[in-house]
Structure 1
Amino acid sequence: MSRDMSTFMGHPKGLFLLFSTELWERFCYYGMRAILVLYLTDKTINGGFGWTTKDALSLYATYTGLVYLTPLIGGWIADNFLGQRRCVILGGICMAIAQFTLALPNSVVGTFALSAFYCGLGLMIIGNGLFKANISTMVGDLYPEGDNRRDGAFTIFYMGINLGSLLAGVIAGTAVSFWGWKAGFAASGIGMLMSLLLQLVFAKRLLGKIGIEPAAKRDAAKNASGKKEPLTAVERDRMKVIMFLGLFVVVFWAGFEQAGGLMNIFTQEYTDRMIGSFEVPAAWFQSLNPFFIITLAPIIAAFWIKLGPKEPSSPIKFVFALLFLAIGFLFMIGAAMQQGGDLTVKTSMSWLVGAYFFHTLGELCISPIGLSMVTKLAPLRLCSLLMGVWFAFNALANYVAGIIGSHVGDAGALHIFVGIAIAAVVSAIILFLFSNKLIQWMHGAEGHLVEKKEAVIAEV
């Protein structure tokens, strides 16, 4: 079946299918993420497992690390065997089963409650690995090489991710407040079913053949020999950019992902969440970041366009991201200092709002930019694989984030917040010093702006 070539808001309608598919998948993931650590540390009498904060954050580190590592495998499978569309469907099925496994009442699983829990986590990891890299790659495949709509497309796609995250924190948190932890997992499972339904009903008409044929097969068909050709010097240089920038992605996300771990615990235990007689559920604060994404993304996108030829390159945008991360942790340092070493003191919610605001600005300078950059720089036959590599850097970051947060009992929240802020500033300085070389290695992949900068660098 041929693809519907009509557009909406200047973009292929297939973009909005992928937007919606990812929206509900992220609702599934972030709904679970918002309550996972809180569920593990809650008392067994309330339906939790009664784990220590350190043990819960250590598991969180392992889980989120694997969630972002397995897209490397899922991308390789899609590129070489199944294609992106089949992997997305299989991944969605695994994640739906995972959430409903986690939602099984303790009265049903009985003494196997912990085993069922680990089974649910395992299915989430496998499903996410098949889904995540491949849905992002298909966004890039909607546009021909050199199409200047691609960055805007990933901004729209990223808004879908965060709309799902916004809904997840509120709905999962509310479900837990009224019906308990299992209701939060069930709500997330329903979101995943919505994602699958959209893909199964509309993909043929709006995506056509996109994502059906493995990329390695398409690439081989383009060559006269019908075989894989060695990577060119330009392709190797562009891959070096992906790998180098990935190191700084680790620093950014290791700090940013404290939101689901240490900052989540700080919100639950040390933040005054009372508004009159109403106590704001801790999980609701997980929706601050996606709320800011949705409101700020159009402004940031318009700002880049307004700059015109002065728009910074991707490496410089990454520098901004690291600096915004550091500023966000200045607010958390302020919150920890307000306690003055007395853990019975509750801190103002305004510190968290400020932290999430600046962390979101940083995210907008690194996450959609990075996704778009990978589709520009990666060779066709390796696109899903390298998207998986990009998420593997996130995997390492999530693991590091959990390990850092788990030492809160030893180092204290203040010292951890200070350490992350310093690491972000130092990383920003190092990346700025290497930015010109990275622009050279891109070989004009970012259009006329990059080509102009390359010419200036060559003259120097």
Structure 2
Amino acid sequence: MNSNRQSDWLGHPRGLFLLCGTELWERFSFYAMRAILVLYLTDKTINGGLGWTTQDALNLYGIYTGLVYLTPVLGGWLADNFLGQRRSIIIGGALMAIGQFTLALPNSVIDPFELQAFYVGLGFLIVGNGLFKPNISTMVGQLYGEGDNRRDGAFTIFYMGINLGSLLAGIIAGTASIHYGWKAGFLCAGVGMLLSLVVQLLFANRLLGKIGVEPAAVEQRRQSGSTQKQPLTKVERDRLKVILVMSLFVIIFWAGFEQAGGLMNIYSQDYTNRMLGSFEVPAAWFQSLNPMFIIVFAPLLALFWRRLGASEPSSPIKFAMAMGFLSLGFVCMIGAALQQGADMSIKASMWWLVGAYFFHTLGELCLSPIGLSLITKLAPLRLMSVMMGTWFCANAVANYVAGFVGSHVGDAGPLAIFSGIAITSAVAGVLLILCSNKLVSWMHGAEGASALIDETMTEADKTLTEKPAVVA
């Protein structure tokens, strides 16, 4: 694995903060578009929207966000074998910028092909994201050597950068859309993507060195002196099993969490009393609650884990905690639905939404940065970007499920959907606790101070003691 030998800043390689800046503006671009996408689709055509039904808009939202998290598998494979991570990021970022500016084209320019241009813009965003998303996260892990205990903290800092971009996105794009129309919101997203590219192009060579330049599979073959693909060892197979099992629970978590951009977005727009005195809070602003809570609580939670020391819970237990917090968030939404009752003209208090986003954020902090760090600990170097893409693939399934579930709000009603998600996530948390010991044993010391013998065995030792399996 590559290591960054340049000077540190705040105890971490300076390259970490470059990657944070790159991802910050890319996430600004993504969340700016996400904050207004469903609202743009469902708005009346006289206001510049497309006038879709809520069900059609949420179905498209689920398909789009699903593809956004599915394409990183292919993008990771291309980076590992052909492009390298740095080149993949630049190409992917350029494609996403084109996509955002396509969405921002004025109707007077693209009439009568507005819908076709809309789909073309989404297509550029999906393909570009596939190249960008798995590789920026993988490069964070490559800044640190084996056994470096700063890695989890690095991903927490990286995650704060992500959510700072998200926080700015909801406020800026939401405000621009209100005053200048939906196209202005998409224009803000495009500018954010350009800033991400500029940051990466200006500073990557100086702060990242050779990290991400050479494809990982090519680098590993060069270092081993062999042109043949190496078989997976037993330790690697067990660790990949952990990734697979944890991915199944990730699907459940994100299927509930991603209601934020769909059903909960619609709920805040149509069924929530958003008045603060004489000021009506824009619905898009609620999308900024989650990143705001993350920026506030991420360092506190990181400090809490550190204070626990040897008593710090394992990743499966942290995932179980995430499921519990997700369930509590939807208990708040159940409260909102009960306050509203059967009379849809009655609007629920906005504080139910604030409570839901608060608990969902705590759950996200127990799952998302921990999961990203876990992939870089468990995945073999030659498969690192592919496995990061596979991790995001679980998000693809979750986002499709989220859109499908949310689109049936008209049939089942908000109370039934919120209750179903709360119960499902609670049950998933209990199951994770029950199987946590087995998952930890499959990690073979990848977590914790012990690191066991598996971390110090040479490849020759592993070849002698472990039977090779499927060729990677």
Normalised-by-shorter TM-score class:
over 0.9
Q: Is 1:386 the equivalent of 2:387?
A: yes
CA–CA separation in structure 2 for the residues paired with 1:81 and 1:163: 32
What RMSD over aligned residues (CA atoms) do the two structures have, in Å?
1.2
Deviations, residues 228-247 of structure 1 (Å, cap 9, x unaligned)? 21000000000000000000
CA–CA separation in structure 2 for the residues paired with 1:219 and 1:353: 48
Aligned partner of residue 448 in structure 1, secondary structure: coil
Contact 1:71–1:392 at 8 Å: present in 2 too? yes
Aligned partner of residue 111 in structure 1, secondary structure: coil
CA–CA separation in structure 2 for the residues paired with 1:115 and 1:447: 52
What is the CA-CA distance between 1:449 and the residue it aligns to? 5.9
One-letter code of the match for 2:117?
A
Q: Which residue of 1 aligns with 2:171?
A: 170
What is the CA-CA distance between 1:220 and the residue it aligns to? 1.2
Aligned partner of residue 117 in structure 1, secondary structure: helix
Q: Which residue of 1 aligns with 2:458?
A: none
Q: Is 1:276 the equivalent of 2:257?
A: no
Aligned partner of residue 6 in structure 2, secondary structure: coil
CA–CA separation in structure 1 for the residues paired with 2:86 and 2:451: 33
Q: Which residue of 1 aligns with 2:161?
A: 160
One-letter code of the match for 1:102?
L
Aligned partner of residue 29 in structure 1, secondary structure: helix
Aligned partner of residue 5 in structure 1, secondary structure: coil
Contact 1:4–1:206 at 8 Å: present in 2 too? no
Q: Which residue of 2 aligns with 1:406?
A: 407
Q: Which residue of 1 aligns with 2:463?
A: none
> Cα distance 1:232–1:135, how it changes in 2: closer, same or farther (>3 A)?
same
CA–CA separation in structure 2 for the residues paired with 1:372 and 1:438: 16
Contact 2:4–2:144 at 8 Å: present in 1 too? no
CA–CA separation in structure 2 for the residues paired with 1:3 and 1:366: 27
CA–CA separation in structure 2 for the residues paired with 1:379 and 1:248: 22
How do 1:255-404 residues align onto structure 2 when only pairs under 5 Å count? 255-404=256-405
> Cα distance 1:397–1:449, how it changes in 2: closer, same or farther (>3 A)?
farther
Aligned partner of residue 422 in structure 2, secondary structure: helix
One-letter code of the match for 1:5?
Q
Contact 2:40–2:50 at 8 Å: present in 1 too? yes
CA–CA separation in structure 2 for the residues paired with 1:414 and 1:448: 45
Q: Which residue of 1 aligns with 2:467?
A: none
Q: Which residue of 2 aligns with 1:57?
A: 58
Deviations, residues 36-89 of structure 1 (Å, cap 9, x unaligned)? 000000000000000000000000000000000000110000000000000000
What is the CA-CA distance between 1:431 and the residue it aligns to? 1.1
Contact 2:62–2:403 at 8 Å: present in 1 too? yes
CA–CA separation in structure 1 for the residues paired with 2:142 and 2:280: 46
Using the TM superposition, name which of 150-159 and 269-278 deviates more: 269-278
Deviations, residues 298-324 of structure 1 (Å, cap 9, x unaligned)? 000000001000000000000000000
CA–CA separation in structure 2 for the residues paired with 1:226 and 1:33: 44
CA–CA separation in structure 1 for the residues paired with 2:245 and 2:151: 22
What is the CA-CA distance between 1:277 and the residue it aligns to? 1.4
Deviations, residues 331-352 of structure 1 (Å, cap 9, x unaligned)? 0000000011110001111000
Aligned partner of residue 268 in structure 2, secondary structure: helix
Aligned partner of residue 146 in structure 1, secondary structure: coil
CA–CA separation in structure 2 for the residues paired with 1:314 and 1:450: 15
Contact 2:4–2:13 at 8 Å: present in 1 too? no
Aligned partner of residue 167 in structure 2, secondary structure: helix
Contact 1:81–1:214 at 8 Å: present in 2 too? yes
What is the CA-CA distance between 1:289 and the residue it aligns to? 0.1
Deviations, residues 101-139 of structure 1 (Å, cap 9, x unaligned)? 000010110010000000000000001100000000000
Aligned partner of residue 445 in structure 1, secondary structure: coil
Aligned partner of residue 221 in structure 2, secondary structure: helix
Q: Which residue of 2 aligns with 1:127?
A: 128
What is the CA-CA distance between 1:450 and the residue it aligns to? 6.9
Contact 1:42–1:50 at 8 Å: present in 2 too? yes
Unaligned runs of 5+ in 2: 454-472
What is the CA-CA distance between 1:275 and the residue it aligns to? 1.1
Deviations, residues 251-288 of structure 1 (Å, cap 9, x unaligned)? 00000000000000000000011111111110000000
Contact 1:3–1:204 at 8 Å: present in 2 too? no
Aligned partner of residue 425 in structure 1, secondary structure: helix
Contact 1:65–1:394 at 8 Å: present in 2 too? yes
Contact 1:221–1:227 at 8 Å: present in 2 too? no
Q: Which residue of 1 aligns with 2:244?
A: 243
Contact 1:48–1:181 at 8 Å: present in 2 too? yes
Contact 1:309–1:449 at 8 Å: present in 2 too? no
Contact 2:66–2:397 at 8 Å: present in 1 too? yes
Deviations, residues 365-406 of structure 1 (Å, cap 9, x unaligned)? 000000000000000100000000000000000000000000
Q: TM-score, normalised by structure 1?
A: 0.97
Deviations, residues 146-199 of structure 1 (Å, cap 9, x unaligned)? 110000000000000000000000000000011000000000100000000000
CA–CA separation in structure 2 for the residues paired with 1:225 and 1:179: 59
Q: Is 1:78 the equivalent of 2:79?
A: yes
One-letter code of the match for 2:168?
L
CA–CA separation in structure 1 for the residues paired with 2:198 and 2:275: 39
CA–CA separation in structure 2 for the residues paired with 1:3 and 1:421: 43
Q: TM-score, normalised by structure 2?
A: 0.94
Contact 1:4–1:13 at 8 Å: present in 2 too? no
Contact 1:293–1:360 at 8 Å: present in 2 too? yes
What is the CA-CA distance between 1:6 and the residue it aligns to? 0.7
Q: Which residue of 1 aligns with 2:103?
A: 102
What is the CA-CA distance between 1:225 and the residue it aligns to? 3.0
What is the CA-CA distance between 1:3 and the residue it aligns to? 6.4
CA–CA separation in structure 2 for the residues paired with 1:7 and 1:448: 23
One-letter code of the match for 1:382?
L
Q: Which residue of 2 aligns with 1:458?
A: none
Q: Which residue of 1 aligns with 2:468?
A: none
Contact 2:375–2:388 at 8 Å: present in 1 too? yes
Q: Which residue of 2 aligns with 1:38?
A: 39
Q: Which residue of 2 aligns with 1:431?
A: 432
Contact 2:315–2:370 at 8 Å: present in 1 too? yes
CA–CA separation in structure 2 for the residues paired with 1:295 and 1:425: 25
Contact 1:67–1:129 at 8 Å: present in 2 too? yes
One-letter code of the match for 2:202?
V
What is the CA-CA distance between 1:224 and the residue it aligns to? 4.2
CA–CA separation in structure 1 for the residues paired with 2:45 and 2:264: 23
Unaligned runs of 5+ in 1: 453-460
* Percent identity for Structure 1 against Structure 2: 71
Q: Which residue of 1 aligns with 2:14?
A: 13
What is the CA-CA distance between 1:222 and the residue it aligns to? 2.7
Aligned partner of residue 111 in structure 2, secondary structure: helix
One-letter code of the match for 1:261?
G
Contact 2:163–2:291 at 8 Å: present in 1 too? yes
CA–CA separation in structure 2 for the residues paired with 1:251 and 1:450: 30
